[in-house]
Amino acid sequence: MNTLVRGRSLQGIAVRRQPVRVNRRDLLKIAGGASLAAAGLFAFGRTSSAYQEGTPAAAPVLGPQADGSALWKVVVGGMDMENMIEYHGFFPGEITITAGDSIWFAEEMPMFHTITFPLNGEVPGLQIPDPEVAPASPEAAGPPKLVYNPILFTGAGGTSVDGTQLVSTSLDVFGDGVTPWIFTFPVAGTFDYLCIPHADVMRAKVIVQEAGPALPMDQAAIDAVAAEQIAALQEQGLAELGKYSTPVSTEREDGTTLWEVALGAGGPTQVRVQRFLPGEIEITVGDTIKYINQSEGEPHTVSLIGAGETPPEDTIVEAFANGAPKLVQNMATFTAQGGNVWNGTGWLNSGFLGIPQLGLAMEYEITFAVDGEFIPYCILHGSAQGEGMASKVIVKPAA
């Protein structure tokens, strides 16, 4: 989910009345971040929170500023692209500054993050029930219609953090990619913040002290701590790769084999290995693979589509009554579809796995009833063509 080609617009989608189907990977590729953000901001009738579309700002100059304050830097997220390991953290995880100072929250690439300072500890949801749909009765069957929280497009609260209001950027992929995220902290206090999509693990703290006392670290020391924290996560991620590189197999009484494959790894930590482990496995017709989400809090799917067929898209782009873009969660990807036996055709999907707090399962079994080569993939982080978080299952005929 880290590719974004700028310069294209979804302006037309913002006023379209017929649903448009789009997956997250394609959304990020065509979003033209600032254009979509601008469409949303116009429709919501507000201005951007932490940055605005327009003339690119000069690169931030860290250290003392002309007004006597100082500008500091915190790194947002990180990624080992070669090994497909993401680091869902702010680095360093704690920083102390002086009242009146500002912080530049910097990242090398958009990775579906926000910088969000909640009000009274209330974390905005990534997805919310569609506010334009009347709540269903308790007896109604099925989940509610879920949409992505509009705050992901608009941000909230300006650029000053004082604890009196919710302050948040939009998702980074909807930023202009040029203007830096800079927040000012005018009053002393302790301010916890997080990333909305990764709120389970991606949290940090800003301690703001009154002017006078010396600060515990200068920017060089802060950078060193950040580098150490990222290096530790990288080491942890590589260990996770080794841990799950070989599948676990159990022979069953009927002569078939039950295999276990990790669907992501890292556990409930800031390390997110966005891979099937192992990435390729050879089995026999009748064998079953148990896919286990090993990165609690990070949702994944196991999805299969027949050759030449088109899978459903994860996200459906509609419009709110005021013309603002409405991103709707497709229940054909959110929930399990197609059962547990793969016959080589149609659509089989585990549904979202990995968030037990929301009642989502951690594992899903699929029995492969036909021989051939197949590409199980995560619809959130991969594609049916084998890009990103995808794998290969080679099914040999039974002896």
What CATH number does residue 333 fall under?
Answer: 2.60.40.420
Q: What is the pLDDT of residue 26?
A: 43
Tell me: do 125 and 221 sit in the same domain.
yes
Nearest one of 311, 272, 347, 335 to 23, comparing CA atoms: 311
Domain count along the chain? 2
CB of 154 closer than 8 Å to CB of 170? yes
> Quick check: 301 pLDDT over 70?
yes
Tell me: do 149 and 267 sit in the same domain.
no
Task: Write out pLDDT tens, residues 112-137.
Answer: 899 999 999 999 999 999 999 887 66
Q: What is the pLDDT of residue 30?
A: 31
Q: What is the pLDDT of residue 21?
A: 38
Return the residue matching tokens 């390729």. Answer: 280
Q: Which of 216, 238, 260 finishes a domain?
A: 238
| % the chain with pLDDT above 70 | 84
- Asked whether residue 6 is assigned to any structural domain, the reply reads no
CA–CA distance, 94 with 262 (Å, rounded to integer): 32
Q: What is the pLDDT of residue 43?
A: 29
Q: What is the pLDDT of residue 141?
A: 63
Tell me: do 49 and 67 sit in the same domain.
yes
CA–CA distance, 385 with 83 (Å, rounded to integer): 19
CA–CA distance, 305 with 313 (Å, rounded to integer): 12
- Asked whether residue 2 is assigned to any structural domain, the reply reads no
Nearest one of 389, 382, 94 to 225, comparing CA atoms: 94
- Asked whether residue 3 is assigned to any structural domain, the reply reads no
> Quick check: 336 pLDDT over 80?
yes
Q: What is the pLDDT of residue 136?
A: 64
Tell me: do 233 and 267 sit in the same domain.
no
Return the residue matching tokens 């002569």. Answer: 255
Q: What is the pLDDT of residue 173?
A: 85
- Asked whether residue 106 is assigned to any structural domain, the reply reads yes
Residue 63 structure tokens: 């250290």
The Cα-based distances of 347 to 126, 169, 350, 365, 385 in angstroms read 26, 36, 10, 15, 14
> Quick check: 8 pLDDT over 60?
no
> Quick check: 99 pLDDT over 50?
yes
Nearest one of 85, 57, 95 to 275, comparing CA atoms: 85
Of 289 and 33, the one with more pLDDT: 289
Q: Which of 217, 238, 259 finishes a domain?
A: 238
- Asked whether residue 159 is assigned to any structural domain, the reply reads yes
Task: Write out pLDDT tens, residues 256-290.
Answer: 999 999 999 999 999 999 999 999 999 999 999 99
For Cα atoms 124, 32, 60, give the angle at the middle one, nearest 5 degrees: 75
> Quick check: 145 pLDDT over 60?
yes
First to last CA, the chain: 41
The Cα-based distances of 142 to 19, 51, 136, 138, 146 in angstroms read 21, 39, 10, 10, 12
CA 17, 22, 26, 32: dihedral to nearest 10 degrees? Answer: 20
Containing domain of residue 149, as a range? Answer: 13-238
Q: Which of 182, 209, 238 finishes a domain?
A: 238
Question: How are strands ordered across the β-sheet holding 203-209?
Answer: 94-98, 203-209, 189-194, 116-117, 167-168
Strand (E) or helix (H) holding 151: helix 151-154
Tell me: do 204 and 275 sit in the same domain.
no
Tell me: do 94 and 161 sit in the same domain.
yes
- pTM of the predicted model, to two decimals? 0.83
Tell me: do 226 and 258 sit in the same domain.
no
Tell me: do 175 and 198 sit in the same domain.
yes
Tell me: do 325 and 367 sit in the same domain.
yes
Average pLDDT of the chain to the nearest whole number: 85
The Cα-based distances of 112 to 27, 84, 186, 211, 342 in angstroms read 12, 15, 28, 35, 32
Average pLDDT over residues 219-239: 97
Which residues contact residue 297 at a Cβ distance below 8 angstroms, ignoring those fewer than 6 apart?
198, 200, 201, 268, 354, 355
Tell me: do 179 and 318 sit in the same domain.
no
